[in-house]
């Protein structure tokens, strides 16, 4: 069953076409990686999906419903969680309060704190729970951002470059976390780290100049000559 | 002791002290304190929008005046007794703040400041324009006989102190409950990073609208009480000066702290009071003190206290 699709989705910034006529389908339960060179339109695409950007034309359909004109906060309530590429935690609030804000919207009061503690434990931040988010290292802020995403128990979790700035052992933890989350959540992952993509993704979509260059299993993408030429730079 | 107990203890402690002070203070300071508590209630209202939601309004005099005129005009021209007149003042505040919120919240930042300032000026000019009813700048006196609330004479200093204390206690406790509630925490998050709050699924416009109405309503309640307790309504209370005052009080006391508005109001009141006893150029002393405070306690008195000592202060 298709959870999310876009039809002829386009976004133009003045003369620049960031995404053009994109048809994209994401079945329920999949972990999909979205890759492509810088400026390929990845963040623009997910921004239109979650409602931060209005498309120039085309449609976004979520669970069979046209959500193209729905404001961002209502899409989030439908179950689309987005974690920002540029870390966007609340720096002067504690890690606990950051995650609690995300949890409180959908959970009854008594379940908020346990959910918050569990989420922070799963990203390995249980020792920093009462620290101000602004005092955490960049990598830890990325993990906090991820925790704020999945604590919402979304149907679709969009992660925009979640492993940027993480140490190797933290990346291993992150992979384990995604392998755990994939049991319950569909995940759309923008990622530059190829080991993460190869290990986690069920399928990979490659964007280039706002269009789909290729789509397939990680193995197929790895062996695809066009992709190699455009992106991996080994051609 | 948990932080929650500390917070409750501190705020209730302040209320106990203020209650006890009415038996101890000499007449002059007794009168001052009643006035400070009403003005601090106004500052508490202002702080909800500015300190906790991060919206800097330059038009709160409009809400203060809505309360004051909602009360005084209905007493003067419709023959209301104080209780329904107070209610009329509060309702006027709700309506005016909701109306302004719908218009002004389409803007942010400097534009929000200008829009609120302009509407408040329009309100001020409206009061002057209808001088037939409001007596404009000169204003009008609410007679002692019109200030009997359930048989209690509010022109009597002790009753007045107690009424001011009641208003202040209600506003302080409401503000404390608000900022500790999930709604209040969402407001703080909006102040810190509005886009992120939207992407957590919250309707930030609705939250800001509610914050502005609560803020306007408390301000109006203070305005209405001020008119009732001190027996006067005049257009100067709707002037831009009365929009700047709460901003100043809140900044001095500590924006985004529950006690800050009271401490700021108290400090500013006595700063002017004491310095005007020393010299006629008292604004010079007040100005230098304010500059020093801004340099050494940029987060306000309570804000600094929270930063350095009591991290748990709400």
Mark whether A159 and A74 lie in a shared domain: yes
CATH number reported for the structural domain that contains residue A215 in this entry: 3.40.50.300
Total tally of structural domains belonging to chain A: 2
Mark whether A102 and A138 lie in a shared domain: yes
**What integer pLDDT is reported at residue B37 of this predicted model?**
95
Out of A107, A124, A151, a domain closes at A151
Q: How many beta carbons lie within 10 A of that of residue B166, not counting itself?
A: 13
Strand runs labelled E in chain B: 140-141, 148-149, 152-153, 232-233
Task: Examine residue A18 and state whether it is found in any structural domain, yes or no.
Answer: yes
Which of B190, B200, B306 to mutate against chain A (most A CBs within 10 Å)? B200
The domain limits of chain B are: 3-244
Q: How many beta carbons lie within 10 A of that of residue B139, not counting itself?
A: 18
Does B199 contact A72 at a Cβ distance shorter than 8 Å?
A: yes
Give yes or no for A62 touching B (CB within 8 A). no
As a whole number of angstroms, the distance between CA A170 and CA A142 comes to 11
Please count the residue pairs, one from chain A and one from chain B, whose beta carbons lie less than 8 angstroms apart: 54
Sheet containing A80-83, strands listed edge to edge, beginning at the edge strand earlier in sequence: A80-83, A156-160, A186-190, A31-35, A203-208, A211-216
Residues of chain B with pLDDT under 70: 1
As a whole number of angstroms, the distance between CA A66 and CA A77 comes to 15
Task: Examine residue A84 and state whether it is found in any structural domain, yes or no.
Answer: no
The DSSP letter of residue A70 is: S
Give yes or no for A198 touching B (CB within 8 A). no
Which of B186, B192, B199 comes nearest A76 by C-beta? B199
**Domain extent at residue A13:** 2-79+154-232
Task: Examine residue A61 and state whether it is found in any structural domain, yes or no.
Answer: yes
* Cα nearest neighbour of A86 on chain B: B196
CA A176 to centroid of chain Cα atoms: 16
Out of A119, A135, A151, a domain closes at A151
**What integer pLDDT is reported at residue B215 of this predicted model?**
96
User: What ipTM score was computed for the predicted complex, to two decimals?
Assistant: 0.84
Decide: residue A223, CB within 10 A, 0-12 exposed, 13-18 middle, 19+ buried.
exposed
As a whole number of angstroms, the distance between CA B251 and CA B254 comes to 5
**What integer pLDDT is reported at residue A233 of this predicted model?**
57
CB B301 within 8 A of CB B267: yes
The pTM of this model reads: 0.87
Predicted confidence (pLDDT) per residue in B120-160, tens digit: 999 999 998 888 888 878 878 888 777 777 877 777 888 88
CA A103 to centroid of chain Cα atoms: 18
**A116 vs chain B: nearest CA distance in angstroms?**
14
Task: Examine residue A135 and state whether it is found in any structural domain, yes or no.
Answer: yes
Predicted confidence (pLDDT) per residue in A107-119, tens digit: 888 898 999 999 9
Residues of A with Cβ-Cβ distance to B196 under 8 angstroms: 84, 88-90
Cβ within 8 Å of residue B147, ≥6 positions away:
B82, B153, B154, B155, B228, B229, B231
Mark whether A101 and A135 lie in a shared domain: yes
**What integer pLDDT is reported at residue A235 of this predicted model?**
40
Which of B51, B57, B67, B44 has its CA nearest to residue B265? B44
* Cα nearest neighbour of B190 on chain A: A90
Mark whether A145 and A110 lie in a shared domain: yes
**A142 vs chain B: nearest CA distance in angstroms?**
14
Q: Which two tokens stand for residue A40?
A: 């390929």
Out of A98, A133, A151, a domain closes at A151
**B226 vs chain A: nearest CA distance in angstroms?**
36
Residues of chain A with pLDDT under 70: 231-235
Q: Which bin fits A17, alpha (ψ -120 to 50), beta or left (φ > 0)? A: beta
């Amino acid at each position: 069953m298709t959870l999310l699709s876009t039809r002829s989705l386009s976004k133009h910034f003045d003369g620049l076409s960031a995404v053009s006529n994109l048809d994209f389908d994401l079945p329920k339960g999949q972990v999909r990686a979205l890759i492509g060179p810088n400026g390929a339109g990845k963040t623009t695409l997910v921004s239109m999906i979650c409602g931060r950007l209005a498309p120039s034309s085309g449609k976004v359909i979520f669970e069979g419903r046209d959500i193209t004109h729905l404001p961002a906060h209502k899409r989030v309530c439908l179950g689309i969680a987005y974690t920002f590429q540029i870390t966007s935690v609340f720096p002067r609030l504690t890690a606990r309060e950051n995650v609690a804000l995300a949890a409180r919207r959908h959970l009854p009061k008594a379940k908020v704190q346990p959910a918050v503690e569990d989420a922070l434990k799963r990203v390995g931040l249980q020792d920093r729970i009462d620290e101000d988010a602004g005092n955490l290292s960049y990598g830890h802020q990325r993990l906090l951002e991820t925790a704020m995403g999945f604590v919402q128990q979304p149907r679709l979790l969009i992660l925009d470059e979640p492993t940027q700035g993480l140490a190797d052992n933290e990346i291993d933890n992150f992979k384990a976390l995604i392998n755990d989350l994939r049991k319950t959540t569909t995940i759309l992952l923008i990622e530059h780290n190829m080991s993460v993509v190869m290990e986690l993704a069920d399928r990979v979509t490659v964007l280039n100049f706002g269009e789909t260059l290729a789509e397939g299993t990680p193995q197929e993408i790895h062996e695809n000559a066009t992709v190699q030429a455009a992106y991996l730079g080994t051609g | 002791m948990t932080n929650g107990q500390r917070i409750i203890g501190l705020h209730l402690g302040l209320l106990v002290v203020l209650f006890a002070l009415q038996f101890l203070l000499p007449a002059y300071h007794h009168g001052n304190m009643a006035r400070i508590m009403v003005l601090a209630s106004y500052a508490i209202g202002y702080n909800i929008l500015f300190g906790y939601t991060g919206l800097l309004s330059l038009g709160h005099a409009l809400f203060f005046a809505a309360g004051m005129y909602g009360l005084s005009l209905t007493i003067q021209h419709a023959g209301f007794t104080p209780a329904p007149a107070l209610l009329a003042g509060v309702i006027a505040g709700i309506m005016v703040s909701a109306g302004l919120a719908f218009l002004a919240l389409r803007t942010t930042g400097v534009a929000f400041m200008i829009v609120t300032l302009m509407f408040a000026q329009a309100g001020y000019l409206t009061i002057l324009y209808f001088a037939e009813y409001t007596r404009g700048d000169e204003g009008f006196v609410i007679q002692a006989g019109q200030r009997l609330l359930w048989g209690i004479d509010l022109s009597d200093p002790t009753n007045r102190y107690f009424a001011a204390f009641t208003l202040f206690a209600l506003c302080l406790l409401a503000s404390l409950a608000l900022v500790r509630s999930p709604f209040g925490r969402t407001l703080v998050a909006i102040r810190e990073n509005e886009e992120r709050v939207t992407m957590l699924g919250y309707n930030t416009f609705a939250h800001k609208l509610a914050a502005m109405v609560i803020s306007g309503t408390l301000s109006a309640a203070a305005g209405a009480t001020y008119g009732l307790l001190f027996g006067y309504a005049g257009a100067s209370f709707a002037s831009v000066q009365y929009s700047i005052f709460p901003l100043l009080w809140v900044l001095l006391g500590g924006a985004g702290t529950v006690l800050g508005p009271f401490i700021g109001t108290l400090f500013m009141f006595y700063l002017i009071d004491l310095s005007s006893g020393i010299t006629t150029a008292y604004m010079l002393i007040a100005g230098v003190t304010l500059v020093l405070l801004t340099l050494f306690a940029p987060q306000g008195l309570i804000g600094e206290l929270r930063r350095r000592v009591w991290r748990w202060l709400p």
